[in-house]
Structure 1
Amino acid sequence: MSLLYEDIVKFVANNLKCSICMEIFTKPVTLVCGHNYCQKCINACWAKSSARRDCPHCRADVSSSKLEMNFTLCDILELQDLGGRETWESTKNVFVCMCTVLCLGKHYITINKSTPLSTTPKNDRHLFKGVLLSGLHAEFVELSFSPQLGNKRLVFHTESHRVETQPGNQARTLHGRFDACQWMAEQEFRGEWVYWDVDTTFSTGWAVGVANPSLKRSERLGRTPSSWCLEWSSGQLSAWHNNIKTSVKHSIPNGIRVILDMPKGQLSFQSLRDSLLELHSFQVDSSGPFIPIFWLYGLSHNALTFPRH
């Protein structure tokens, strides 16, 4: 696989963050399954769970092993403090090569031999500093909603940033975008690394996820090839895509963080109440586009709130 310089830098940079805190690693440790976390983050995650110790990403049982400090990653991350930004910039070629091997495992990158990293245009080389020093964070998105993209049984309260069902005699006359009791946000993502949070405390039946803009009026979230979601219904937590249900062994979460990492082609759902424990993840087309979408059980009063940051 041949990638442009910018793609390589972004790919490596995305693998230098802890998937629990979404920050650049602090005292990175490696589990026996090969996944890396901040030492503090993984310990806090396990401290809140009475179950066996497992990897939040792949669910591998790591109870019989101890945390091993990843000293090589620690040394790499200390480059930021050895001479300021100039040193960090000047060591970028070594950094990219080392991280490609250490962080990406079996993901091999082939660089076009006619354009080595050391001879890339000066403007392109400046991208490295911008991505690694300030671009490692997923961007929080404050979602917005238009009546034309919802269902007549739903209403959005701007002040409280809340979507809720309403009695039939109060339903809007506008039919909206969907027959099902669901609502599509106004934001559309192409190539971004973004996340948003959803408070599900006041809902007994819900689904949160993303879909392509082509989702039809009669189609429901997670039941088509072009939509993915995490759903709580009938007392069960499950993940849906292409009308295939995958059971998720977890109690009802009161808050969900949805992370759309399009450079890596990954959609993941984390519990806001369990140290951002990953509940489920999907591989998705990195080219998109994707739009956040939500479903609510429409036969009783339900609501989803979208916390602001």
Structure 2
Amino acid sequence: MAAVCSGNAVPVWLSEDDLSCIICQGLLDQPTTLPCGHSFCLRCLHDLWVSKRGAVDGCPWACPICRKGPLTKPKLHKNPLLQDLVDKYLQAAREVEAGSEPEPAPAPRSAPQDSSSEGEHSLDSPKLVTFSISQKKIQEILHNLEEIQEKLQGSVPGRAPPRERVQEMTSSLCLLPDQRRPAPRKASHLSLWAISPTFDLRTLSYNLEVSNNSRRVTVSRGDLHTYHWSPQRFSISQVFCSQALSSGQKYWEVDTRNCSHWAIGVASWGMKRDGMLGRTMDSWCIEWRGPGQFSAWAKMKKTDLQSDLPEVVGVWLDLESGELAFYAVADHERLLYECEVSSSSPLHPAFWLYGLSPGNYLEIKQLNT
């Protein structure tokens, strides 16, 4: 997470997601840390407990992430160390956006080399936050931010995505689905390779539920579900599909009209169950967090996208050439983002429903195959 340099200057690379609250999906505000070690906005957690939306087995003060709840209601106190880190992040972000550099400090030995892309100056881009503190306080920060440390240890941005490459379809539409061909430009022609994946209940987060046909995933309106424990279950509101894709070309579509914040992509089965889609080296996605907050993530590298909300997202995966493409599917189809994928294990369709907005859902469309 950090390297101690001369003068007790500690360079720390952070992104907004490292300091965000899973309940409101914003930067932590008056952060409070539960006995289990997970942190949230004090007000968000208080409101969640009052509404009892996060209750587990009759315990209204269970942690929204790990579902652990003490026998007695814990007192909520602001975590001053975590608040200090949030404040310093915001200060560094404002300096970068204003065109000035944060307070100079020796770069960490493995500091990533940022590119000069436009996304480099967004609030979500990693910032170098530098401050001088005692060794004891450093240890306290590392102790309180253990979860953040785990995320940051591998947070070296990957290489930039390849240049956009979408070729026109050839006239051979009668080719069999398993015959290799370039990614077509028009998503409607991809129906030759259409599949309709289904959600894997073993991976389903406790605050999600799946329809009977296993193609709709919804943020639960009531208490967290008491699913059987599974080592494959996500600790945050994510889910995989059961289909393991290891060869050929595949295409599927997802209806996003009933979900305000989402991420859609693919990941290897070995993705850590406390990891976030796109923020690991074995996952890729596009995500919508509201107007002006549309982006793609590929191996922890963020790319800002300029587009309105795509009501239906088409996902094209060519495992022979190692290509992944996302389309906005409407009266006419347009490419949203394309990147390379590589994995030593099969890939699974993967989804993330941000926050705890009851009733929000994503639906995998049933395509004619």
Corresponding position of 2:208: 154
How do 1:127-142 and structure 2 match up within 5 A?
A: 138-142=192-196
The share of aligned pairs that are identical, in percent, is 33
The question of whether the paired residues in 1 share the 8 Å contact of 2:282 and 2:343 is answered with: no
Structure 1, unaligned stretches of length 5 or more?
Answer: 1-8, 24-135
Within 1, Cα distance between the matches of 2:316 and 2:341? Answer: 12
The question of whether the paired residues in 1 share the 8 Å contact of 2:199 and 2:242 is answered with: yes
Q: Tell me how many residue pairs correspond in the alignment.
A: 187
Structure 2, unaligned stretches of length 5 or more?
Answer: 1-174
What's the CA shift string for 1:92-121, capped at 9, x where partnerless?
xxxxxxxxxxxxxxxxxxxxxxxxxxxxxx
Q: CA offset at residue 17 of structure 1?
A: 6.7
The one-letter code sitting in structure 2 at the alignment partner of 1:225 is: M
Alignment pair present for 1:305 and 2:363: yes
Distance 1:21 1:251, change over 3 A: closer
Q: CA offset at residue 159 of structure 1?
A: 4.0
1:181 to 237, 241, 247: 237
What's the CA shift string for 1:67-99, capped at 9, x where partnerless?
xxxxxxxxxxxxxxxxxxxxxxxxxxxxxxxxx
TM-score, normalized by length of structure 1?
A: 0.55
Within 1, Cα distance between the matches of 2:341 and 2:256? Answer: 24
Within 2, Cα distance between the matches of 1:19 and 1:183? Answer: 29
Runs (4 or more) in structure 1 with deviation over 4 Å come to: 13-17
Q: CA offset at residue 161 of structure 1?
A: 2.8
1:289 to 343, 346, 354: 346
Corresponding position of 1:52: none
Corresponding position of 1:26: none
Q: Report the secondary structure of 1:146's partner residue.
A: coil
Alignment pair present for 1:19 and 2:185: yes
Distance 1:287 1:175, change over 3 A: closer
Within 2, Cα distance between the matches of 1:248 and 1:254? Answer: 15
Within 1, Cα distance between the matches of 2:183 and 2:351? Answer: 28
Q: CA offset at residue 22 of structure 1?
A: 5.8
Corresponding position of 1:171: 225
Distance 1:274 1:224, change over 3 A: farther
Corresponding position of 2:324: 267
The question of whether the paired residues in 2 share the 8 Å contact of 1:152 and 1:175 is answered with: no
What's the CA shift string for 1:253-307, capped at 9, x where partnerless?
1010001011121000000125220100111127652111100013212100111
Q: CA offset at residue 205 of structure 1?
A: 0.5
1:198 to 225, 244, 254: 254
Distance 1:18 1:281, change over 3 A: closer
Within 2, Cα distance between the matches of 1:308 and 1:206? Answer: 20
The one-letter code sitting in structure 2 at the alignment partner of 1:229 is: C
Within 2, Cα distance between the matches of 1:16 and 1:217? Answer: 33
The question of whether the paired residues in 2 share the 8 Å contact of 1:200 and 1:256 is answered with: yes
TM-score, normalized by length of structure 2?
A: 0.47
Corresponding position of 1:87: none
Q: CA offset at residue 174 of structure 1?
A: 3.7
Within 2, Cα distance between the matches of 1:203 and 1:186? Answer: 22
Distance 1:255 1:137, change over 3 A: closer
What's the CA shift string for 1:27-65, capped at 9, x where partnerless?
xxxxxxxxxxxxxxxxxxxxxxxxxxxxxxxxxxxxxxx
Within 2, Cα distance between the matches of 1:154 and 1:22? Answer: 31
The question of whether the paired residues in 1 share the 8 Å contact of 2:249 and 2:319 is answered with: yes
Within 2, Cα distance between the matches of 1:15 and 1:305? Answer: 28
1:218 to 274, 280, 284: 274
Alignment pair present for 1:255 and 2:309: no
Corresponding position of 2:302: 245
Distance 1:174 1:190, change over 3 A: same
Q: CA offset at residue 16 of structure 1?
A: 6.3
Distance 1:299 1:193, change over 3 A: same
What root-mean-square deviation, in Å, do the aligned CA atoms of Structure 1 and Structure 2 show?
A: 2.5
Q: CA offset at residue 140 of structure 1?
A: 1.3
Corresponding position of 1:114: none
Distance 1:266 1:22, change over 3 A: farther
Q: Report the secondary structure of 2:327's partner residue.
A: strand
